Amino acid sequence: EIDLKRTFPEQEYVASETGQSALRRVLLALSRHFPQIGYCQSLNYVAASLLVYLDGDENAAFWVGTALIEKRLYPGMYQHDLVGLAVETKTAAAVLNWKAPKLARHLEHCECD
């Protein structure tokens, strides 16, 4: 409930009563569809983005969200231990080292892990 109002407050649809209700329903549906995940912070931004992109179509937002979680995001991305996030972060760091080594060294120097 707390994350609803924090989610894209500047975006007209998401900030509206209609958008907040739609976001609540999509998040609830996703959390029930994925009981091993439940609700995990940042899913609100995924769901809100889908609702905006899909013109408020809650059904489409739910199914696209489901496909993202099942097929596109690293397995475990939204598990309670955040193992998927750790893998994604290490992968991003490796790509950064490869594509932009100077920036990677700067971030390491600044202790940005």
pLDDT value of residue 75: 61
Mean pLDDT of the residues in the chain: 87
Q: How many CA atoms lie within 13 A of 20 on its CB side?
A: 11
pLDDT value of residue 79: 66
pLDDT value of residue 66: 94
Distance between the two ends of the chain, CA-based, in angstroms? 30
Q: Which residue has the tokens 């995990």?
A: 40
| pLDDT for 77 beyond 70 | no
Of 93 and 47, more confident: 47
| pLDDT for 82 beyond 90 | no
| pLDDT for 71 beyond 90 | no
pTM score, two decimals? 0.71
Q: How far apart are CA 56 and CA 108, in angstroms?
A: 41
Residues 14-56: pLDDT tens digits? 999 999 999 999 999 999 998 887 777 788 999 999 999 999 9
